[in-house]
Structures are given as C-alpha cells and as structure tokens.
Amino acid sequence: MSDPNDVVRHHENTVLPVGEHDITDGGPDMVQFVDGDGNRLSTNAANEPYAGIVEAMTPDDARALYRDLALVRRIDAEGHALQRQGELGLWPSLLGQEAAQVGAGRAMRPQDYAFPGYREHGVAWCRDVPPENLLGMFRGVNNGGWDSGEHNFHLYTIVIGNQMLHATGYAMGLQRDGVVGTGDPDRDAAVMAFTGDGGTAQGDYNEALVFADVANAPVVFFVQNNQWAISEPNHKQFRIPPYQRARGFGFPGVRVDGNDVLAVYAVAKTALDAARAGQGPTLIEAFTYRMGAHTTSDDPTKYRIATEIDIWREKDPIKRMRGFMETKGYADPQFFEDIDAEADELAARIRKAAQEMPDPELPTMFDHIYADPHPLVERERADFVAYHESFEAEAN
C-alpha cells in the first residue's frame, strides 16, 4: 500500500509561500509549442507526448485557428463596446483567453458536450452558436438565447462552479447510454466543463471531481487559470496549482500554456480522446491571463499593477500565432487583411442584431419555471401583470 504522506512529500518543493506565486511563468511542467514571438519550441519532456498532434497539423489548420482567434476577439470587443454604449447590461470579457477557448473548442467532436461558465464566448463560437445569440442574456431579453441541444453547448452558468456538477452528471449519462468506449469515433462522446481559477475553490467543483473519478466519467475539466478570481489572486484560492490537485482526486492533471492555441488543442484532444475511450477524466489547467476586467462592472486598476499586464501583453495569443504563421510561411499579408475585413463585417452584424433585439412580453419571464403549471408562479404572474397595467390606467 502506498504511503499517503508521499503526496505531501511530492508537493513539498512545489508549494510556494503565500504571496510568492509567479503568475507570469507556468514552470517546467507547462506544455508549450510556440513562444511569445511565434517561434516553434524544441521538443521537451512536457510537450513530447503531444508533439505528434501538432506536427500533423497543416497550414490550413493554422489558418483556420488564426481566423477563430481573430473573430472571437472581435466578438468580445463588440460585446464590450455595446455594454459601454448602454446596449447591454453587462459583458464578461475573454480578452487574452482566446487561445485557451479556441484550442479546447476545436478539439471537441460534434457529439461532445460543453458546459460553460459565462465567459466562454470562444467555445460558443467553436460550437456554432451565432454570436448574436450570446448577447440576449446580457441585454436582458432572454434567459440564454440558443438551443443547447442543437449545439451541444449548455446555456451559460452564472453560479460559479455549478456547471461542473452538471457536466459530470451528463458524462455519467453518456456511460449509461452506451456511447463511451465503443471504438466508434462517430459515436463515442465526452464532456468538457469550463471554469476559472476562482471556480476551483467552490464546493460544487470539488464534488464534481469526486463523482467523476469514482464513476470514471468521460469528462475533461478545463480550468482557465487567468490569475484573478475577480480581485482575488491565485494565492488566495489555492496553495497547490489546479493541475497538481487532480492527483488527489485520482486522475491526471496537465498544465498547458493557455496562450498557445496549438498546445491547448493538442492537450485537449488527447484528454478528450482518452475520455471517449473510457479512460476517465482529466483536468487541464490552461495557464493564461485575463487582460481586461472581470466584467464591465469591475475596475482591475484597484487591485493589480500595470507591469503585470505589460508582461502578459507580450504573450498575446494572436500575436504569437501570427508570428508562427509568418515564420512558417503559412500566410501572406492579404490573408491577415481579409480576416480583419471579415471581423469588421461580423462586428457590424452583431451590433445591428443587438440594437434590433425586441423586448419580450413582460409575463414571459414566468414561462418555463417549472415543467408543469405552478399555482404560486401563476399568482406572481397575475400580480406582475396587474402592477404594470396599473401604470397604463393612471396614464389614461
């Protein structure tokens, strides 16, 4: 029998004193293929298991990923601008996290299912959710805006970490449906659950990992460690980084450079392949950075310094992917100009759609609360309608 103290000894040299975590260096365990300037890194112990996947990728693959990165960033920028112009009530930006989300999203197969938090606009793009549909909830005109069954992309979850339990339960359902480990690539399915570093401190998150391990569920937990849980830094969330904590639950954990889309894709593909094959869960920690505010109601200048942002700006995922492609000769200037023009068209389409979204009839907020009619909800609906009609009566 193994000594449980081995786990403690294993981590003794990796636990840093509170306040001394380096939030700009992912360390030697981090899987990375392209540096901040776009240079292809040599094979090492961390990235060697995934090198074959990256080497097999074609120039067309690289161009497609770059297009995703650029368009997702423009969707995010438009959402931010619309909120500042009063068209949206709130917007949670993903600026800086595009590679983490696109790499993971593109590693999924059509039959896989994604459970997002509320910042996964890039994953939504990869699951073919029209970007206009992301805006409805933040404009306050619907409760989600897309058919999750059509896209295998669950509605956004505002309660931090709650989606991890949903994901684990769904993954256990896939086992019972007999679509795990059959060897049929068009049938076998897996689940990917997304949260941030702050989500790892939630009870729902940890309970989900326990259930996933004991059930050997086909789920990949994807933690975007963007260094800040709103205003709380990593060292106030955990002493052991998320990827190492997976071992305590009984399954593998991997840290990947979340700003390197090639590395994220390779690691996510490997984990999803294993899950579909019946090999159980994996935890991926995408080491990245939230370049903007937590949401448009947040002011990050109150709790972090400009130097930190400057360091991460040099690690920008789009900058490095463009550098990689130019070095490899995968794209000419016209390609990048065409992508920029497409982004402009997409932004105009999103803006028009947001401004033309009709307000819902007020009583509809009471629809679909329960599967069947509920007397309390019906009374509340009647009171709500009567209240608003009273203003019309006064006006007349």
Active site positions, annotated: 290, 294, 303
Q: Is residue 200 helix, strand or coil?
A: helix
Residue holding tokens 């081995």? Answer: 6
* Under 8 Å between Cβ of 274 and 282: yes
Say which DSSP state 222 is in: E
Sequential DSSP letters for 125-163? HHTT--HHHHHHHHHTS-SS-S-HHHHTBPPP--STTHH
- C-alpha–C-alpha distance, residues 16 and 4, integer Å: 21
**HSE value, Cβ hemisphere, 13 Å, CA-based, for 321:** 29
Q: Is residue 323 helix, strand or coil?
A: helix
Residue holding tokens 């339960």? Answer: 169
Q: Which residues does 191 contact at the CB level (< 8 Å), separation at least 6?
A: 112, 113, 114, 115, 167, 168, 170, 171, 174, 217, 218, 219, 220, 275
- C-alpha–C-alpha distance, residues 360 and 271, integer Å: 41
Find the angle CA(200)-CA(201)-CA(202) to the nearest 5 degrees. 95
Say which DSSP state 303 is in: T
Q: Is 298 exposed, middle or buried (0-12, 13-18, 19+ CB in 10 A)?
A: middle
